[in-house]
Amino acid sequence: MTAAVFFGCAFIAFGPAFSLFIFTIAKDPLRVIILIAGKANEGLAAISEEESSPISVREMAYVAGLGFGIMSGAFSMINTLSDSLGPGTVGMFGDSQYYFITSALMTLALTLLHTFWGVVFFDGCERKRWWVIVAVLCLHLVVSGLSLLNPLYVGSVPPVYVIMLLMAVWAFFSSGGSLHNLSLLWTCRKSNAETSS
Amino acid sequence: MNTSDSEEDSYNERTALVASEIPFVPSYQDQAQPTDMEPKRRHPVAPEQPVEPPILDRSAVEREPVIQDDEEELTLKYGAKHVIMLFVPVTLCMVVVVATIKSVSFYTEKNGQQLIYTPFTEDTDTVGERLLNSVLNTIIMISVIVFMTIFLVVLYKYRCYKFIHGWLILSSLMLLFWFSFMYLGEVFKTYNVAMDYPTVAMIIWNFGAVGMICIHWKGPLQLQQAYLIVISALMALVFIKYLPEWSAWVILGAISIYDLVAVLSPKGPLRMLVETAQERNEPIFPALIYSSAMIWMVGMANPARNADRASQDTDEEGYQGESDALARDRAEPETQVSPGMNRSYSTEEELDEEDRGVKLGLGDFIFYSVLVGKAAATGGDWNTTLACFVAILIGLCLTLLLLAIFKKALPALPISITFGLVFYFSTDNLVRPFMDNLAAHQFYI
C-alpha cells in the first residue's frame, strides 16, 4: 500500500486529537501530565481546596478524556498504519477494500467520543446525576456493538458519527457552553463568562 | 563544563572542584538524579545531599514562613514543568532508538557476538538452561557494575581525580567517534547511500569534536542536551544489539534493584560517594547527567553565585557513582548549566532552585531506551512499544512526584523499569493477541 494511504489514514485518525493536544494541552505542563498519567495526584487535590487550583475539574475531565481517546485510538490504529506502509493488496480474499479508511474513521470517532464521554461523565459525577453515567456507559456499549457490524460499514460508521455529534453537543452544554456563547464566538465579541473547554 | 564564568574562577583543576554552597531547598536537583546506570560506567545517582535537605528546608521555612503554602503550589506547578522538561528528552531518546531499531536491521541482527560481560550463551537446548545462563550473565554484569562503582568510590576517596577525569574523557571519545561512525555506516548501508571515506571522516570529526567540546567544556545548552540524547541512544543501541534476549530483561530488572539499593541504603556505594563529596565540600566531577534548564540567577549577585555554584555542585554530585564499567563508551555529558537570566521575585531563594531545572542521569536515559528498544525489536508489534513508552513516562512522573515529596535524591530506574517490564510482558502476552483479533475484524472497544 502506498505512503498516501499511510499519511491519509494517520491524519484522519489522529489529526483532530493531535491538534487538540497542540492547541489546548501542550502549553500547560500539568495538563500533559494528566493526559499521560491520567489522574489527579494528592497535591492537586490539596491545592484545589485552598485557592485557585492550577487545574479545574472540567479541564481534568477534558484532558483525561482526550488521553483515553488518544491511547485507545493509538492502540487500535497503530498496527494497521504500520501494515499500510508495507506491501500487500487490500481485500485480496474478498474483504472490503475500504479497510484502512474505515479503520481511520472509526478511530477518529472513538477518540473524540472518549473525550466527550470523559467530560460528560465527570460532569455527571460532579452533579451526582447517575442517569448520565448510565447513559455514557450504555452509549459506549452501543458504539462498540455497532462496530460488530463491520464490514457492513453502512451500519457502523454513520451511526457512530451521529452518536459522536450528539455527544459533542451534550459535552458542550454540560461543560458550560450555551447558544449565547456560540453566538458570541461567531460574532467575535468578548464576554465575561467564558466557555470552558 | 560550565558556561558561567563565575564558576571558572573556582575551578582550579580540570576536575572541577568547586567549593560548594549548600543550596537552600534542593528539591529539584535531587529529583533528577536517578541512578545512572551504564554497563560501562555506573553512575549512581547521587542525590545531592541526603542529609542536607531537611536542615535546609527548616532554615528555609524559618526564613519565610509565609511562603509554605505558596511553596506547595509553586512546587506543584514547577514540578509539573520539570516533569515535562524531562519528558521531552526521554521521549526523544526513545524515539531515536525505536526509529533506528525499526529501520536499521543491524541492531537487531544477532550473530552470536556477545559482550564479555555476558559470556554465557543463550543458544541452549532447554529452557531451564537458557534461564540459568541469563541469570548468570546478569550476575556477572551486575558484579562488574558494582565493582566499578566501588572502584570509583575508592578512587574518589583517595583523590585520584585525574585518573577519573581521564577515564571519562576516554569513554566519551569512544562513544562520540567510534560508535557514531559505526552507526553512520549502518544507516548508509540500510539506505544504500554511496559515501566516500573523506566525507565520512569530516562528518565524524566534526560531530565528535563538537561533542567533546560541548560535553566537557562549554557549549549552547540545547546542543549539549542534543549530544547527550544522541550518545544515550547510541549506548542503548549497543546494548540492544549485544545483550542476549533473556539476559537483557533480567539485567533490566536487576539494575533497578541495584539502583534502589545503591542510592537508598546507607552503605550503598552511591551514597558513600555523595557523603564523601559532602564531607569534602566539593562537587563530584562532571559526568553523565542531563541538565534540562538554565540556572536562573537571583537578583542579588552573591547569593546567586553561591546558589549557582551550589546547584552546579549538586548536579555534579548526582552522577558520581558511575565508574563501573571500564571506560568504554561512557560519554560524559556534563551538567551544562548556563547562567540564566536575572529574575526578580519576591520569594527569590526558594524559587531559585526550582528554576534550575532538573537533572537526570544518562544511565536512566539509556536503560529506558533499552527497554523500549527491546520492546520494539522483539516482534513487530507497535502496541507493546507504545505501552512500554507510556509506562516509562508514568514511572518517571511518579518518581519526580516522590522526589518533590521526599526532597532527597531518588533512583529513577526502579519505578519506571518495573512498570515498563510489567507492561511489556502483559501487553505482549495478553493485550497483543486480543488487539490483533479486534483489529482484524475491525471491532472497536
pLDDT tens for A46-83 read 444 444 556 778 888 888 899 999 999 999 999 999 88
**Rounded percentage of chain B residues whose pLDDT exceeds 90:** 35
State how far residue A23 is from chain B, nearest Cα, in angstroms.
Answer: 16
Residue found under cell 533480567 = B250
Please return the burial class of A180, using the count of CB atoms within 10 Å of its CB with bins 0-12, 13-18 and 19+: exposed
User: Does position B120 have pLDDT exceeding 60, yes or no?
Assistant: yes
Q: A49 at the B interface (CB within 8 A)?
A: no
User: Does B331 map to a domain?
Assistant: no
User: Active-site residue B125, yes or no?
Assistant: no
Q: B443 at the A interface (CB within 8 A)?
A: yes
**Rounded percentage of chain A residues whose pLDDT exceeds 90:** 40
Put simply, the answer to whether B390 touches A44 (Cβ < 8 Å) is no
User: Does A32 map to a domain?
Assistant: yes
- Given the DSSP bridges, would you call strands B359-361 and B289-291 parallel, antiparallel or unpaired? antiparallel
User: Active-site residue B308, yes or no?
Assistant: no
Size of interface A-B (CB pairs under 8 A): 86
Q: What confidence score (pLDDT) does residue A166 get?
A: 94
Options B30, B36, B259, B428, the catalytic residue: B259
User: Does B18 map to a domain?
Assistant: no
Scored b (16 or more CB within 10 A) or e, B392-414 reads: bbbbbbbbbbebbbebbbbbbbb
What lies within 8 Å, CB to CB, of B209 at 6+ separation is none
Mean pLDDT of chain A: 83
Put simply, the answer to whether B80 touches A99 (Cβ < 8 Å) is no
User: Does position A90 have pLDDT exceeding 50, yes or no?
Assistant: yes
Q: B74 at the A interface (CB within 8 A)?
A: no
**Rounded percentage of chain A residues whose pLDDT exceeds 70:** 86
Identify which has the larger pLDDT, B165 or B348. Answer: B165
Give me the number of domains chain B comprises. Answer: 1
User: Does B172 map to a domain?
Assistant: yes
Average of per-residue pLDDT across B148-173: 87
- Give chain B positions within 8 Å (CB) of A137: none
CA-CA distance, A66 to A38, in Å (whole number)?
10
User: Does A54 map to a domain?
Assistant: yes
Put simply, the answer to whether B381 touches A79 (Cβ < 8 Å) is yes
Give long-range contacts, CB 8 A cutoff, 24+ apart: B299-302. B299/B342, B299/B343, B299/B344, B299/B345, B299/B348, B300/B348
User: Does B31 map to a domain?
Assistant: no
Q: A48 at the B interface (CB within 8 A)?
A: no
Q: Is B86 helix (H, G, I), strand (E, B) or coil?
A: helix
Looking at the DSSP bridge assignments, the partners of residue B291 are B359
Confirm if B24 and B56 have CB atoms less than 8 A apart: yes
Q: B160 at the A interface (CB within 8 A)?
A: no
Confirm if B421 and B371 have CB atoms less than 8 A apart: yes
Q: B84 at the A interface (CB within 8 A)?
A: yes
Put simply, the answer to whether B442 touches A102 (Cβ < 8 Å) is yes
User: Does B85 map to a domain?
Assistant: yes
Identity of the amino acid at A102: T
User: Does A187 map to a domain?
Assistant: no
User: Does A195 map to a domain?
Assistant: no
What residue numbers bound the domain in which B284 lies?
68-293+357-441
State how far residue A184 is from chain B, nearest Cα, in angstroms.
Answer: 32
Confirm if B376 and B50 have CB atoms less than 8 A apart: no
Q: A106 at the B interface (CB within 8 A)?
A: yes
How many Å separate Cα A13 from the centre of its chain? 11
pLDDT band at B440 (very low <50, low <70, confident <90, very high): confident
Put simply, the answer to whether A47 touches B72 (Cβ < 8 Å) is yes
User: Does A196 map to a domain?
Assistant: no
CA-CA distance, A21 to A15, in Å (whole number)?
10
CA-CA distance, B388 to B422, in Å (whole number)?
9
Q: B388-422, pLDDT tens digit by residue?
A: 999 999 999 888 888 888 877 788 899 999 999 99
User: Does B263 map to a domain?
Assistant: yes
Q: Write down the ipTM of this complex.
A: 0.84
What residue numbers bound the domain in which A156 lies?
2-179
- Give chain B positions within 8 Å (CB) of A110: 444
User: Does A190 map to a domain?
Assistant: no
User: Does B142 map to a domain?
Assistant: yes
Confirm if B50 and B273 have CB atoms less than 8 A apart: no
Q: A136-187, pLDDT tens digit by residue?
A: 999 999 999 999 887 788 788 899 999 999 999 999 988 887 888 888 878 8
Give me the number of domains chain A comprises. Answer: 1
Q: Is B285 helix (H, G, I), strand (E, B) or coil?
A: coil
User: Does position B66 have pLDDT exceeding 60, yes or no?
Assistant: no
Indicate yes or no: pTM above 0.80.
no
User: Does B27 map to a domain?
Assistant: no
User: Does position B18 have pLDDT exceeding 60, yes or no?
Assistant: no
pLDDT band at B254 (very low <50, low <70, confident <90, very high): very high
Put simply, the answer to whether B80 touches A30 (Cβ < 8 Å) is yes
